[in-house]
Structure 1
Amino acid sequence: MGSIVEGSFERFSLDIRWNATNPSASMVSGKVQVESINTGISLRDNHLRSSSYFHVSQYPEISFTSTKIEKSSSDGSYIIMGQLSIKGVTKDHTFTMRMRPDGRKEFTTSLNRRDFGVGGWSLTMGDEVQVTVTE
C-alpha cells in the first residue's frame, strides 16, 4: 500500500576503501545530510524534515558503517553488513553492492521506515523504502 515517490538526498559523503583481492578487508561508510532531501515538491520535503518524519533539527544525519563484507556466491555481487543509524535508531542492516559496467559501485537495499521511527501509519505512504546509492 502507498504511493511511489522518488527522491534523493543532495548532500552525502561516501568513504569506500575497497580491497579487490580481499573484499572482506574492505570498508564502506557513508553519511547523508537529511536536510538535503529533494522529492521535487518543497512542501513535502519540509514535511519530511519535520519531527513527525526525519526530525532534522535533532537528527541531521543518516549514517552507515560496514562491519562485514562478503562476496555473494550467486551473482558476483557483494553483501555489505553494518550499522545503519536513522533518527537516533541504530540497527544491523545489509546493502548489496554491484560493480557497474562503468566501474562505479552501486549499493542497494530496502528498509522499513517505521523501524527507524520515520513517520507513523499512513494510508497513502508505504512502509517499505527502496534505496540506491551510486559512487
Structure 2
Amino acid sequence: MTLKKLPLVLLLSSAAFAAPMHYTITGNSMANFNFRVTLIPVPGETPDVQADLSFDPANLQKISGSIKVDLRSLNTGIALRDEHARNFLGVAEHPSAEFKISRISGIKKLQAGQELQGFAEGSFALKGVVKPLKAPIKVRFDGKTIFVTTKFDVVLKDHHINIPGADDATDVMVQFNLKSR
C-alpha cells in the first residue's frame, strides 16, 4: 500500500464503523396545540416533551428513537377544560402521545451553521391508536445543539377521539433542542 492511499483507507474504515450518537433534549421544549370547539379556538400547551434519539448528523438516513409528549401536563388555561381534554384523550390509560421516528427524508446530513427542512417519518400513537406520520421538520445546528421544530395535523377520529362540536383535526407544533450525551 502506498502512502498516498493510506489516509483514504483510514477515513473509509473509520466511517464504516462510526456509531450513531445518542441525543436527548436539553433546555426548553414545548408542544402547542390549537383546535376549535363550536367555532371557539382552544389553544393549549405542554412543556413536557422528551426525546431519545440515536443518529449520526453526517448520515441522517439512519435514525431511531422517539419523541414523547406528556399529556398529563396539558394546559388550555381553564382547569375544567383541561380535565375534559384529558378525559377525551384517555390520559389515564395513555398518559403520553409518542412519535417513533424511523426515517428522515429531504435532509441527508447536518453541518454546523445550517438550517434545513425535510420530513420525519414514523408512527404516531395517541390514545393507544398508532398511525403512520410524515411530519415536516425544520432543523438548525449550531455545532453543539440541534434545534428542531415541526408542525402537523392530528385527525382526532383516526385515534378514536370524538369531541362534540370539535373540528376534525387539531394542529400541533412541537419544538425541542437536542444535545449528544
The normalised TM-score by structure 1 is 0.82
Gaps of 5+ in 1: none
Letter in 2 for 1:67: S
Counterparts of 1:1-135 in structure 2 under 5 Å? 2-50=39-87, 53-71=88-106, 76-100=116-140, 104-122=147-165, 125-135=166-176
SS in 1 for 2:158: helix
Please say which structure displays the higher CA radius of gyration: 2
Stretches of 4+ moved more than 3 A in 1?
Answer: 100-103
Equivalent pairs counted in the alignment come to: 130
Shift of 1:109: 1.1
More strand by share: 2
RMSD: 2.4
Letter in 2 for 1:111: V
- Aligned identity (percent) is 25
SS in 2 for 1:56: coil
Farther off after superposition, 78-87 or 17-26: 17-26
SS in 1 for 2:72: helix
Residue by residue over 1:16-73, the C-alpha shift from the partner in whole angstroms, topping out at 9 and shown as x without a partner, is: 33433211113351112211110111110011111xx11111111211101221116x
Shift of 1:111: 1.8
